Chains A and B, each alone.
Chain A
């Protein structure tokens, strides 16, 4: 590009449009984080489903895998931030949204564990007095709470980044949230796995493909 070339008004406008589009296209998430979380939640849900279906118990809670996944996520975020040559205005907001989502998930787990504790002792007392088991099962209503939370940051990210697979993924989480209120725990776990696949795993794979294409194009341009 020549430094002092004077432009016509049409050329100027064309150049502005072209550069703004280039800047927009330059923002590519690697998608690895989304792939990892999509896979982790899918595995956790399906393993828990097999525990319920085949009546066995692993020596550890499979959902502890989500805690383990936090470590590579932190390392990934640091590496991606270092490699990024451009920062968008949305970056810090989306980071805070996902951080807030993570905090909400752990708060929800804490609330649910406390409710389970209270509910368990109440159900035992009920059985000792009436001789019948309580018909209400709190565990049937846990999945919709998580699905509601899964939908929020996914929907916002999809809308902010104009990335439709994630936007629809977020909406799918909310549809599953509504359905899971009326279904058994086995179906709830299947819906959770389906939500993780549609909201994170598939969009992550699409992002990763686009990122690889962008890198290839950049490499060809720089030859």
Chain B
């Protein structure tokens, strides 16, 4: 019996953001934008969704008088990501 894939993660941009954040300690919004090739608006919405479910932490601060947004994966996010990959592998093995 397969578990359903987490609908929050089973979306292209959110999964891309989580995959980037799982590999690093923290990343700036611009780093995520450059690597996902998403628009700032799209990315902001998806980051907000990930933040609402507690998968990532968003820190807003100022750097050299410019606003800076830093994203960090949380322990809940790491667990959800690991579970997602596990389920994904189970699906693929079955096929």
Interface residues of chain A, those whose CB is within 8 Å of chain B, are: 1-7, 9-10, 12-13, 15-16, 18-20, 22-24, 26-27, 82, 85-89, 91, 218, 221-222
Q: In the complex the two chains form, is A85's CB within 8 Å of B10's CB? A: no
By Cβ-Cβ distance, the 3 closest A-B pairs, closest first, are A19-B19, A23-B23, A85-B31
In the complex with contacts A9-B88, A22-B20, A89-B25 CB distance below 8 A? yes
In the complex with contacts A4-B11, A7-B15, A9-B91, A26-B31 CB distance below 8 A? yes
The contact of B34 among A19, A88, A222, by CB within 8 Å, is A222
Q: In the complex the two chains form, is A1's CB within 8 Å of B37's CB? A: yes
- B94 nearest in chain A by CB position: A9
In the complex with contacts A1-B37, A3-B46, A6-B10, A86-B28 CB distance below 8 A? yes
CB-CB under 8 A from B28, the residues of chain A are 85-86
Q: In the complex the two chains form, is B42's CB within 8 Å of A3's CB? A: yes
Q: In the complex the two chains form, is B10's CB within 8 Å of A87's CB? A: no
CB-CB under 8 A from B64, the residues of chain A are 82
The contact of A16 among B5, B15, B36, B38, by CB within 8 Å, is B15
Q: In the complex the two chains form, is B31's CB within 8 Å of A2's CB? A: no
CA distance A22 to B19 in the complex (A): 10
Q: Does B57 contact A (CB under 8 A)?
A: no
Interface size classification for chain B = 35 or more
Q: In the complex the two chains form, is A7's CB within 8 Å of B46's CB? A: no
For the complex formed, measure the closest distance between the CB of B39 and the CB atoms of chain A, giving whole angstroms: 9
CA distance A85 to B37 in the complex (A): 16
Q: In the complex the two chains form, is A86's CB within 8 Å of B27's CB? A: yes
Q: Does B40 contact A (CB under 8 A)?
A: no
CA distance A24 to B15 in the complex (A): 17
CA distance A49 to B51 in the complex (A): 60
In the complex with contacts A15-B15, A86-B26, A86-B28, A23-B46 CB distance below 8 A? no
Identify which of residues 12-70 in chain B touch chain A, using a CB-to-CB cut-off of 8 Å.
Answer: 12-16, 19-20, 22-28, 30-31, 34-38, 42, 45-46, 63-64
